[in-house]
Chains A and B, each alone.
Chain A
Amino acid sequence: MKERETAGRRAFLVASATAGASALVSACGFRGGPLEDDLSSFSSFNDWVSARLFSSRLAREYPIRSRTPERHFPSYYIMRGGMPMLEDPASWALHVGGLVRRPRMFSQLELEALPRLTYTVKHHCVEGWTAIATWTGARFGALAGSVEPLPAARYVRFRSFDDGYSNGWDLPSAMHEQTILAYAFNDRPLGPDHGAPLRLYSPTKLGYKLTKYLFSVEFTDRRPGGYWEDQGYPWFGGV
């Protein structure tokens, strides 16, 4: 080793620097290459960790004066060419079924008659923004209690009439005390921009898990996919 020439050392350094620089450059714009699918499936490990971290802990509530001005509260849907709207809102009813003892429909009035919850909480979007609003809705736990899920039910699929949008939740997340089926936003009936007539809401999940424009709730034993989840976003989506 002692005998190495200075020239050899110089060549070594140049080679190292080049290798380092090219490693940097190839990292750039890197999507994961052949690993892209593996990275996506590794995400299920993080879902598992997230489920372990998940607890009955309640998300913080805020005073009403902390509300984000409504014009700054984004709303989105996937349907092209206009907001998803019911042609005949009066005939809308929520279908609740799957692995339950008493599948049934819930009209707007029946949902409003269930034990309700109002909270002012922070909304976390996967994009990184946050906003605070007040939501009122039927407790999911109360709805589940009235249909009596079978022991085999471990997940819940929420379907939207927004162009096939849907989400899958694990049962413990759905049964969390702050999970509601919201019909009011900032003390007024939910508007079509926020998912009228009914949207799933919880301050313990990222926004894309909070299905808007709900039309069915299905208890199931298989983990349901979801619109964004199937494209690579984390399935658990808990905060």
Chain B
Amino acid sequence: MPEPTDASPGPPLDAPAPAPPPAATPETAPEAPAPAFVKRHHWIVRLTHWVNAIVLVLMVASGLQIYRAYPRFGLRGDESVGINPLEGVDFPAWARAGGWLAGALNIHFFLMWPLVLNGLLYLAYLAWSGELRWLVFRPRDLPRAVQMQLYYLRLRKEHPPQGKHNALQKAAYCFIVALGAAAVLSGLAVWKPVQLSWLTTLFGGYEWARYWHFVTVWVFTGFLVVHVALVFLVDPASLRAMVTGWYRGRFPSEGA
């Protein structure tokens, strides 16, 4: 894994971004010559992204079918576990997968393998390619994240200098990887609360593990909504980049 120190031979993060072409700024008139395509995503990143998208949608849908069998948390007769506005909610059929509990369990327990393997493949690629260092949010990214937020709130005029991803993007992607790990681990804690009792205890016991597993669904759903909205509202060209690997849009400085 690359050295995560300031001395690492990465791009000079504090230096201005390497001469972004004029077309980089949104102010550029639409008549300006279209920027060239830049390679942005390796095929492993694109593959794991879309496998993840499909698997997660089915994981959530089968999970909602499973939740329906007992749509509340805590031991029988004990309502003290978690705050759950969705207690007793019967999710509509279109949001569920599996048809009934056994069908949903079979989908869920099948897809957990591609989900985990896909996630590991993605992380292995990041580590192998060295991209991990552009994605890891470090303490020094905190002030940069604040500057980035100020820029987005239009309280700062210039786009702060950045590497491949800005500090807010780093925070978002590290968070989502951590969320994925939390979803998988809480899921294992619910699957084998006796054999993996140490893991279940880590989540506060079976009932809490089941609760946190459910919470990860809604955090993920929130992320998904914002993620898709940003793609379409801010940078639609990034969708094509995630399909073909090539980017030609408003933020070419983010090309690799």
> A interface vs B, CB < 8 Å?
1-2, 9, 12-13, 16-17, 23-25, 27-32, 36, 39-40, 42-43, 46, 50, 53-55, 57, 59-60, 68-69, 71-74, 122, 124-132, 203-204, 228, 231-234, 238-239
Shortest Cβ distance from B74 into A: residue = A130
Task: Judge whether A53 and B76 touch: CB under 8 Å.
Answer: no
Contact (A232, B102) CB under 8 Å given A1-B246, A2-B36, A73-B76 = yes
Q: In the assembled complex, which residues on chain B have CB atoms less than 8 Å from the CB atom of A204?
A: 194-195
Residue B216 interfacial (CB < 8 Å): no
A158 CA to B232 CA in the complex, in Å? 58
A131 CA to B78 CA in the complex, in Å? 9
Mark out the residues of chain B between 80 and 111 whose CB falls within 8 Å of any chain A CB in the assembled complex: 93-99, 101-103, 105-107, 109-110
A42 CA to B110 CA in the complex, in Å? 7
In addition to A27-B54, A72-B76, A239-B193, 10 A-B residue pairs with Cβ atoms within 8 Å of each other are A13-B240, A29-B93, A30-B61, A32-B97, A32-B98, A43-B110, A50-B192, A59-B194, A124-B206, A232-B103
Residue B234 interfacial (CB < 8 Å): no
> B interface vs A, CB < 8 Å?
34, 36-37, 54, 57-58, 61, 66-67, 69-70, 75-78, 93-99, 101-103, 105-107, 109-110, 191-197, 206-207, 210, 232, 236-237, 239-240, 243, 246
Task: Judge whether A239 and B107 touch: CB under 8 Å.
Answer: no
A36 CA to B107 CA in the complex, in Å? 9
A122 CA to B196 CA in the complex, in Å? 15
Q: In the assembled complex, which residues on chain A have CB atoms less than 8 Å from the CB atom of B237?
A: 9
Q: In the assembled complex, which residues on chain A have CB atoms less than 8 Å from the CB atom of B94?
A: 25, 28-29
Shortest Cβ distance from A58 into B: residue = B194
Task: Judge whether B102 and A68 touch: CB under 8 Å.
Answer: no
A50 CA to B196 CA in the complex, in Å? 11
A204 CA to B101 CA in the complex, in Å? 20
Q: Which of B54, B76, B196 contacts A131 (CB 8 A)?
A: B76
What are 24 A-B pairs with beta-carbon distances under 8 A?
Answer: A2-B36, A12-B240, A23-B54, A28-B93, A28-B97, A29-B94, A29-B96, A29-B97, A31-B99, A32-B106, A36-B106, A42-B106, A46-B110, A55-B195, A59-B194, A59-B197, A125-B70, A127-B101, A128-B67, A128-B69, A128-B70, A131-B77, A203-B194, A238-B192
A182 CA to B54 CA in the complex, in Å? 45
Contact (A31, B109) CB under 8 Å given A1-B37, A2-B34, A239-B195 = no
Contact (A69, B77) CB under 8 Å given A13-B236, A57-B195 = yes
Contact (A129, B76) CB under 8 Å given A30-B98, A39-B110 = yes
Q: In the assembled complex, which residues on chain A have CB atoms less than 8 Å from the CB atom of B196?
A: 53
